[in-house]
Chain A
Amino acid sequence: MQQIIDRRLAGKNKSIGNRERFLRRHKEQIREAVRRAVEGRGIRDIAQGEDIHIPRRDISEPVFGHGQGGKREMVHPGNKDFVRGDRIERPKGGQGGSGQASDAGGGEDDFVFHLSKEEFMQVFFDDLALPNLIRTTLADTPEYKTHRAGFSSDGTPNNLHVVRSMRGAIGRRIALGSESRRELHRLEDLLVELRAQPVSAERLHEIEQLETDIAALRARIDRIPYLDPIDLRYRSRVRTPVPTAKAVMFCVMDVSGSMDEARKDLAKRFFILLYLFLTRHYEKIDIVFIRHHTQAQEVDEHDFFHATETGGTVVSSALVLMEEIIRARYPRNEWNVYGAQASDGDNWHDDSPRCRQLLEHGILPLCRYFAYIQVVEQEQNLWHEYASLAEASDTFAMRKASEVDQIYPVFRDLFRKEGAAK
């Protein structure tokens, strides 16, 4: 039978496996391209796709072929004025018309393709993870996973297990009918016997009696239903709650007067990276944005990145607020707490030792990891205080990034997966 099959809905993205293998193979070049791309981008455009260039020679698949030289004869169409014996100048450069021009000459153009946003982010955050994430509990709105748990006698029709049901039905029919069938066979044998005997009125009566009985038995057997609701068996699926790791991330940024636009831009880039990273890797994650000048306040995402308030600098105000929030909302036995702070290192002079105190005794014991990033090169008192802390604690890390192109490496450095190569 000739037939038409509609395949349009089937097998979309069948090539995705091949594409992945291709990307995997050229990971280094792609990573490099992604790094370059991020440096040049504005904050809003960071999470976009990118065109990737790969030199063609890197993706060639060599095969044996003929090179230039030797003697060969080629037939071409479209003769205009040649006659036999004409001599033609040898064309310069790539010999035309050999059909191998793409392997032989030229062909050094880059292989260009577009990396989708998803793939871009994949490369971007490859090998990164939140450090020390261990504590797992059941979340408030737990996730469920369904898995099979044998068979049950009720369920929805789509879960009906036909084989099981039919097996039950056969068993029931055999069990319910066996007595009647045995009786039926006995009577049938008897009937045959009687019929074989000589005819008499009594016999005829007996035969008639037997035939009525047999008909009754047959009817009874026939009345046994082929399939009864009690035969139905359904695949049983149960849902079990899955424990999830819950994490909360504190983003602390200095918005004081000394943080000019360029510095804020650096800090923002860092947090945007962090934000994208977190939203990508962890579904169950809370993010708390704290910005501070002389006073700290908790703000939403939009205000954090875009509001333009400004003032003096008291770093400790933010840390105090952070500690309060942790104690109030994120009990240590349920949450993995992370902190990231960005500042230009400029602080009210007497405040820096206090910051260190707060971190060391208040926040770090509650935190899994705390990262500090300073957006200027110059080391001020805050940096010195923190530096002594960093030596003592392995859950505290600090880096400097004074240029846009340092943000990404610093970020990668801070959140490198344990065991991943530098």
Chain B
Amino acid sequence: MSDTFNRRHVGQAATPDEYGGRRPRPPLRVPLPPTDRPAQTLPGPSDWTFDLIDQYHAVIRATAERFSLDTYPNQLEIITAEQMMDAYASVGMPVNYRHWSYGKEFISTEKNYRRGQMGLAYEIVINSNPCISYLMEENTMAMQALVIAHAAYGHNSFFKGNYLFRMWTDAGSIVDYLVYAKNYVAACEERHGVDAVELLLDSCHALMNYGVDRYRRPGKLSLTQELERAKDREAYAQQQVNEIWRTLPPKSGKDAGEKEQARFPADPQENLLYFIEKNAPLLEPWQREIVRIVRKIAQYFYPQRQTQVMNEGWATFWHHHLLNTMYDDGYLEDGIMIEWLKSHTNVVFQPPVDHPAYSGMNPYALGFAMYSDIKRICEAPTDEDRYWFPDIAGRDWLETLDHAMRNFKDESFIGQYLSPRVMRNFRLFSIVDDEVDPTLEVSAIHDEAGYRSLREAMSRQYDLGSREPNIQVWSVNLRGDRSLMLRHTQHNERPLHDNAYEVLKHVARLWGFPVHLESVGSLGNVSRRWTVDPSTA
């Protein structure tokens, strides 16, 4: 038995030996040698069978072990296209509570799929222990092999290794927790009516991105504990709310020292849902619990939103590397190779900016290019690489890559590893769009003078903190109308979208009293103000 520590209030990153002995194996410095060459390649028909998947999986697993990819146990599941759309619709999770927005998602996915406008993703992989990968029935054998390598070894090892996932998610209990959430929401619907629950969930979803702790690891989720504690928590939370009600005139003399009412909350709070869960005066206990459920699920997805490039890049790099190694070792037929390579090429295609299909950077392409380039820098560094990456040029690539996967998120990963060669290959350039300037300015391109600022700009682009408006709970008017004040701190003078008013209605619904939102510019000037009164919202 290993001891567990409660680090919630320490605010420090997890050490490798925490969390149920999930101590990573030390990475290998060099890959293990291949086993004996097989007499013949694996059969390569286009239709898969369970037997074939087993054979391929065994080889892929053996190959992955040569590179010491550390994964959760794998659970492969064969599903139909319709089930894939189901999973799509409920944010990729095997179970989830019922909500109309998932229905909407399902309907539009289904429609697009039926009309052939959109191919479904070949795979969905769930950050759970065991790690569940969905293989779609319609895939060919080559695609199944690609998916297994990509999801069951690439993503899986990323989930297990990356520090954000280790810190913020509990792979072992997420499915249990979702089952709990689903049942709880269903019970609430039964008791309080579908409409009431729907309204509440709508409001919570509107604030989902503001329901995450950014600097403290939340407690572990476990079905049994959660059930046990839910009741206590409801009762206790309800008592705590009375803080806001406690506006009776203080007994004379006794509280004289506290005459100057302290600000509430003492410091601005960035986790709006948490603040609402704990402090909203009018919420019923069951409503608090639902707010909590949405918050917990938002927290679970928080690392995924921060590691798109790294995660997809890592999985793409490894399916590419594993399958190529298998080919070199004599396991794969040419036909299988051609088929998955074609699909791989589509996935890592980066349309240029003037291409009709352009819609921003393709995380698969960027991530794949970066990991591949790190490997190249380790194995065959040029003078430029020695200058830019003195600490990794010429080192063992496996170890370096492992380090790069474990200890970064998109923002820092790009800041650290985006090499001049990758920038040149993508022909990156940055554009400054300033409101006060009638034209756009090209601020940097892929040349000696521009590398650093390009890299910084790219890194900022993946910073969630600057992608999402910074909105925090500023104060609650305890003495007066109990109104809640939110404050938006502008970043580079960027204003809020007009949606803000709609979202504010949701906040007001949860808070139960008037809600104000101020947008504050860089000079501390309030540039815009919204107010919603729940009685009119």
Whether A and B are associated in the same complex: the answer reads yes
Question: Which residue from A1, A67, A74 sits with its C-beta under 8 Å from B497?
Answer: A67
Is there contact, CB below 8 Å, between B73 and A15? no
Is there contact, CB below 8 Å, between A18 and B100? yes
Q: Quick check: is B496 within 8 A (CB to CB) of the other chain?
A: yes
Is there contact, CB below 8 Å, between B355 and A18? no
Q: How far is the CA of A406 from the CA of B50 in the complex (A)?
A: 59
Chain B 467-509 per-residue mask, 1 if CB under 8 angstroms from chain A, else 0: 0110100000000000000001011111111111011001000
Q: Quick check: is B215 within 8 A (CB to CB) of the other chain?
A: no
Is there contact, CB below 8 Å, between A75 and B107? no
Q: How far is the CA of A112 from the CA of B114 in the complex (A)?
A: 13
Chain B 191-221 per-residue mask, 1 if CB under 8 angstroms from chain A, else 0: 0001000100010011111100000000000
Question: Across the interface, which residues of B come within 8 angstroms of A112, CB to CB?
Answer: 111
Is there contact, CB below 8 Å, between B206 and A62? yes
Question: Across the interface, which residues of A come within 8 angstroms of B85, CB to CB?
Answer: 15
Q: Least Cβ distance of B368 to chain A in Å? A: 14
Q: How far is the CA of A65 from the CA of B207 in the complex (A)?
A: 11
Q: Least Cβ distance of A134 to chain B in Å? A: 29
Would you list which residues of chain A between 72 and 97 have a CB under 8 Å from chain B? 72-80, 82-90, 95, 97
**Number of B residues with CB within 8 Å of any CB on chain A:** 95
Q: At the interface, is chain B mostly helix, strand, loop or mixed?
A: mixed
Q: How far is the CA of A114 from the CA of B110 in the complex (A)?
A: 10
Is there contact, CB below 8 Å, between A64 and B499? yes
Is there contact, CB below 8 Å, between A77 and B75? no
Q: Quick check: is A262 within 8 A (CB to CB) of the other chain?
A: no
Q: How far is the CA of A88 from the CA of B441 in the complex (A)?
A: 6
Given A62-B499, A69-B494, A5 and B457 touching (CB < 8 A)? no
Q: Quick check: is B343 within 8 A (CB to CB) of the other chain?
A: no
Chain B 408-448 per-residue mask, 1 if CB under 8 angstroms from chain A, else 0: 00000000000000000011111111110011111111110
Segment of A21-29, A269-277, A352-360 engaged in the interface with chain B? A21-29
Question: Across the interface, which residues of A come within 8 angstroms of B359, CB to CB?
Answer: 97, 99, 101
Q: How far is the CA of A407 from the CA of B83 in the complex (A)?
A: 41
Question: Across the interface, which residues of A come within 8 angstroms of B73, CB to CB?
Answer: 1-2
Is there contact, CB below 8 Å, between A89 and B353? no
Question: Which residue from B86, B202, B496, B502 sits with its C-beta under 8 Å from A66?
Answer: B496
Chain A 105-125 per-residue mask, 1 if CB under 8 angstroms from chain B, else 0: 000000111100000000000
**B205 (CB) vs chain A CBs: closest residue:** A61
Is there contact, CB below 8 Å, between A66 and B354? no
Given A21-B100, A65-B499, A82 and B202 touching (CB < 8 A)? no
Given A14-B83, A65-B496, A78 and B355 touching (CB < 8 A)? yes
Would you list which residues of chain B between 73 and 119 have a CB under 8 Å from chain A? 73-80, 82-83, 85-86, 89-90, 98-104, 106-108, 111
Is there contact, CB below 8 Å, between B457 and A73? yes
**B434 (CB) vs chain A CBs: closest residue:** A71
Is there contact, CB below 8 Å, between B497 and A71? no
Q: Quick check: is A17 within 8 A (CB to CB) of the other chain?
A: yes
Q: Quick check: is A3 within 8 A (CB to CB) of the other chain?
A: yes
Is there contact, CB below 8 Å, between A77 and B350? yes
**B98 (CB) vs chain A CBs: closest residue:** A17
Is there contact, CB below 8 Å, between A18 and B497? no
Question: Across the interface, which residues of A come within 8 angstroms of B500, CB to CB?
Answer: 64
Q: Quick check: is A70 within 8 A (CB to CB) of the other chain?
A: yes
Given A71-B494, A90-B438, A11 and B83 touching (CB < 8 A)? yes
Would you list which residues of chain A between 246 and 290 have a CB under 8 Å from chain B? none
Q: How far is the CA of A15 from the CA of B85 in the complex (A)?
A: 9
Is there contact, CB below 8 Å, between A75 and B428? yes
Question: Across the interface, which residues of A come within 8 angstroms of B90, CB to CB?
Answer: 14-15, 18
Would you list which residues of chain B between 208 and 262 have a CB under 8 Å from chain A? 208-210
Q: Quick check: is B461 within 8 A (CB to CB) of the other chain?
A: yes
Question: Across the interface, which residues of B come within 8 angstroms of A74, CB to CB?
Answer: 430-431, 433, 457, 461
Is there contact, CB below 8 Å, between A84 and B354? no
Q: Least Cβ distance of B348 to chain A in Å? A: 12
Q: How far is the CA of A90 from the CA of B431 in the complex (A)?
A: 11
* A→B interface (CB under 8 Å): 1-8, 11-15, 17-25, 59-80, 82-90, 95, 97, 99, 101, 103-104, 111-114
User: What 20 new A-B contacts, CB under 8 Å, besides A67-B495, A90-B439, A99-B360?
Assistant: A2-B57, A5-B76, A5-B78, A11-B86, A14-B83, A22-B103, A22-B104, A24-B100, A61-B202, A61-B206, A70-B493, A71-B433, A71-B492, A73-B461, A75-B361, A77-B350, A78-B351, A79-B429, A88-B441, A99-B359
Provide 27 A-B residue pairs closer than 8 Å at the C-beta atoms, listed in order of the A residue: A2-B61, A5-B76, A7-B77, A7-B78, A7-B83, A8-B137, A12-B83, A14-B83, A15-B86, A18-B90, A22-B101, A24-B100, A61-B101, A61-B202, A62-B503, A64-B210, A72-B432, A73-B430, A74-B461, A75-B361, A78-B358, A79-B353, A79-B446, A82-B445, A88-B441, A90-B433, A90-B440
